[in-house]
Chains A and B, each alone.
Chain A
Amino acid sequence: MSNAKVNQIKDLSEYKGVCIVAQHQDSKNLPISFELIHEGMKLAKKREARLTVLILGYKIDDAVNEIAHYGADEVIYFENELLKDYSTDLYTKTVSDYLKKNKFEIVIFGASSIGRDFAPRVAARIGTGLVADCTKLDIHEEDGRFLQTRPAFGGNLMATIVCPNDRPQMATVRPGVMETATRLEEKSVVTLIKPDIALGDIIAKTLEIIYDKSKHVSLADADIIVSGGRGMKNKEGFELLEELAEVIGGTVGASRVAVDEGWIDHSRQVGQTGQTVRPIVYIACGISGAIQHMVGISDSDFIIAINKNPTAPIMERANLAVEGDLFKVIPELIKEIKEHKGMA
């Protein structure tokens, strides 16, 4: 059994600095890495400390050099052929070994499925607390503690968590929520480390990675739904919604009218004779808001209606009623989102 224990540290002040664990795929840095750097820099500034970026891989010099342009004090590149693809055992060992020798005050990972796979193992191995899926990070004004805010109870409640007695204070950060760092001319110091790992360290072995672009979330589980009705006019109208859905990270739905007209598949239908949904946000485009449709979306946390007609029933029931031509507003909205995500 692991020997790590919590509540053991005598002198917390020995732990200084902020560390972020970057993620890449296909030799390209993933957006979460830049979001982590943005947050890391904010936290490092408040603690008057250094920001270190950890990146693990093999022959990813381009990605390493690129990430070095985002303002960190140091980028540590762990290079080994065995690190080419993600492995729980190797990533846990590499990061844990490094963190045991380098006493950081704060370490943050992305809360991707990979981050959430090995961050808890690192935390358990080195003996500290971990807060999952944070949507807001901050430093306490007075005592300098790391304030980690995250949703609980399925999003019904927000909790701010602290890790008072253990270091490093660790968190995984929800992708797509934080702001993204800006690219700078200057380049950080890049340090190459050959981690002490061997083939025998791998027990859960990845045999194959299969990339699948067409993965989509079912309507019933979707947090974000972009839905179209009569106002979409035709199949092409729904292509615009697909674009918005992709950029915002959502799923496309439809009212009965759109399905009956053949503009979209029946599996996308929301309402009395379709599916009942309970997203965090439901964006109803060109949907009038007949009761049969409203019944299917009444459990949405936030309804946005985009409609040319200010007297359409849905405009009274929406949390946000946007009176405008959806064919003009949606492209602008897509632009705004892309800019925000640094995807221009």
Chain B
Amino acid sequence: MNIIVCVKQVPNTNDVRINHDTGTLIRDGVDSIINPDDLNALEEALQIKDSRDDVKVTVLSMGPPQAKNALMESLAMGADKAILVSDRAFAGSDTWATATVLASAIKKIGDYDIIFCGRQAIDGDTAQVGPEIAEFLDLPQITYVMDLEIQKDKVVATRSFESGTMVIESRMPVLLSAIKELNHPRFMDIRRIYEAHENEEMFEMWSAKDIEVDLTQIGVKNSPTKVYKTFVPTREFSGKKLTGTPKELANKCFNEILHLNIV
């Protein structure tokens, strides 16, 4: 059984701070980590590997050369092989372009029974790449997977939604996207850290030339969605004090809450 896990190296957005003067992110001193949902996808793939004899787990990522770190960590956790697709031509890709590249890379890898993604990345927060890859490869998909069972020739997944869960089954090959509730990712095995560095065959880097990708559909220029502007959400310390009747207080308080864009 072949499982391909798509991972993304992201800045730890919990540690990201904003430069209020320029309205941009301060990335200095912010750790790069494997996107948390992707870790759940990888963990599930590794659990499937633990439970059977015939499973190969390949980790795939599109990113700059530094994204190799995320892939080495995936190998240390137990993946068999890691592939980084990296090329200047991919820079600035939106989800369409990213999914295009990853789908082409997956086609090059060849055999697969399951493509496992994390639901969404903590920097982009779109949750679109997984389903778009599925569409490009003409695969069925099950997203928001919180429980998974592999049967002889199909998967049965429990999918989370706002009001509860759905049980969905699908033949393979299939694309799945994992959420936090699926499992608890394991630690790296220290011995595998050394193995991953010593065994050169475990990690490969591909460029645009190595995958047959339509260059007119990738990169910042060809991405259908483009950033018009960015700005910092205004949540400065206002230190406001309110007095008044309960009704007045509730009304003023409510208006403040509205501005936070969460209600």
Contacts and interface: CB of A to CB of B under 8 A. Distances in A.
Interface of A: 1-2, 5-7, 25, 86, 88-89, 92, 112-114, 116-121, 123-125, 128-133, 135-136, 147, 150-166, 176-177, 203-213, 215, 221, 223-224, 248-249, 278, 280-281, 301-302, 304, 306, 310, 315, 318-325, 328-333, 335-337, 340-341
Nearest to B97: A6
Interface stretch (B74-82, B164-172, B197-205): B164-172
Main secondary structure, interface of A, reads mixed
A204 B174 contact: yes
A139 to B, nearest CB: 12
B47 interface: no
A211 B18 contact: no
Contacts of A213: 163
B262 A154 contact: no
B135 A163 contact: no
A122 B226 CA distance: 19
A176 to B, nearest CB: 6
B222 interface: yes
Main secondary structure, interface of B, reads mixed
Contacts of B240: 319-321
B200 to A, nearest CB: 31
Contact of B225 (A129, A221, A278): A129
A5 B162 CA distance: 33
Nearest to A250: B262
Contact of B232 (A1, A157, A323): A157
Nearest to B177: A117
B243 A323 contact: yes
26 contacts: A1-B107, A5-B216, A6-B96, A88-B140, A112-B162, A113-B161, A117-B131, A120-B128, A121-B131, A121-B134, A132-B95, A153-B125, A156-B25, A157-B231, A160-B228, A204-B140, A205-B169, A209-B167, A212-B165, A248-B263, A304-B257, A320-B240, A329-B253, A332-B250, A333-B253, A336-B250
A159 B136 contact: no
B110 interface: no
A278 B14 contact: yes
B28 to A, nearest CB: 14
